[in-house]
Structures are given as C-alpha cells and as structure tokens.
C-alpha cells in the first residue's frame, strides 16, 4: 500500500473528530478544505483502514456505519435522544471475551458493545425522546 495524502487526511480527521463520524460526515468535514476529495475515496479508505485495524467500524442506531480512531476494544453509549455516541472505558467487563470463548468453544477476535438509552445531558434538559 502506497502513501496517500487523502488516506492520511481521513485518518487525521478521525483523530481530531472524536465524535464517531460516519463516512459522509468525514467527507463533509474534509470537503471544506479539500474540495477535490471524493466521497468514494472516503469510503474506500475507511474500508482499507478498518481492515488494517487502524480505525474501528461502529454500528450505530441508524443505517450508516460510524468510525472511531480508537481501535482498542472499548464500548459505546448511544443516546436515543440526541443521537450522540459516548465512549466507555473497557473496564466494565474486562474478561468477557474469554467467557464467550469458553461458552461457545469459539475464537473471539473482538467485541462490539453498545448501551442504548438517554444520556445525562438529555435527562437534565428534558429533551423529547424519539
């Protein structure tokens, strides 16, 4: 794999933008400064990068995938009210992969844990749930 300016920009965008953006959001973010950038390039590189485990692909509540620069195993909280994705420390369940391996006699490569509910901000502001 060769060096590519755009791939590097996409990785940087994810590093800066810690709010777990979608491909489209990364595209919009970079498009401002690099108008030549194409959406297909963003998708292509996010696929490369996630295959190389340089970024993490996250399934959210909607239909589009989100991406995370943090590749270490960690979990997320998805707010049903504001839609934001919050990070969680992995300490909540340290040896859970091992447990699953024992139960199913399977090899666990990684896990994807999401907690869905209402975040503290939205509870305070009495925002309407959708």
Asked if residue 23 binds DNA (CB under 7 A), the reply is yes
From the list 108, 125, 126, 128, which residue makes contact with a second copy (rule: CB under 8 A)? Answer: 108
Contact flag: residue 25 with DNA (CB under 7 A): no
Structural element, H or E, at residue 76 = strand 75-79
When the beta carbons of 36 and 72 are compared against DNA, the nearer one is: 36
Smallest distance, Å, CB 86 to a second copy?
6
Binding string, residues 3-42; x marks residues near a second copy by CB under 8 A: ----------------------------------------
Is 125 one of the binding residues for a second copy (CB under 8 A)? Answer: no
Q: How far apart are the first and last CA of the chain?
A: 43
Q: State the virtual CA torsion across 122, 116, 30, 16 in degrees, nearest 10.
A: 80
**Residue 130 interacts with, from a second copy, DNA, none (CB under 5-8 Å by kind):** none
Q: Six-digit token pair at 76?
A: 């997320």
H or E stretch at 93: none
CB of 105 vs a second copy, minimal distance in Å: 4
Please report, for residues 23, 34, 38, 47, the alpha-carbon distance to residue 67 in angstroms, rounded to integers and kept in the order given.
8, 20, 18, 10
């Amino acid at each position: 794999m060769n060096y590519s300016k755009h791939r590097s920009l996409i990785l940087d965008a994810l590093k800066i933008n810690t709010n777990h953006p979608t491909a489209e959001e990364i595209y919009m973010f970079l498009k401002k400064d690099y108008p030549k950038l194409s959406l297909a390039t963003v998708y292509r590189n996010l696929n490369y990068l996630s295959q190389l485990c340089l970024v993490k692909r996250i399934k959210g509540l909607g239909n589009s995938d989100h991406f995370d620069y943090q590749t270490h195993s960690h979990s997320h909280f998805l707010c049903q009210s504001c839609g934001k994705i919050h990070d969680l420390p992995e300490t909540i369940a340290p040896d859970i992969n091992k447990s699953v391996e024992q139960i199913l006699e399977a090899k666990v490569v990684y896990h994807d844990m999401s907690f869905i509910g209402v975040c503290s901000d939205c509870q305070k502001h009495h925002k309407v749930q959708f």
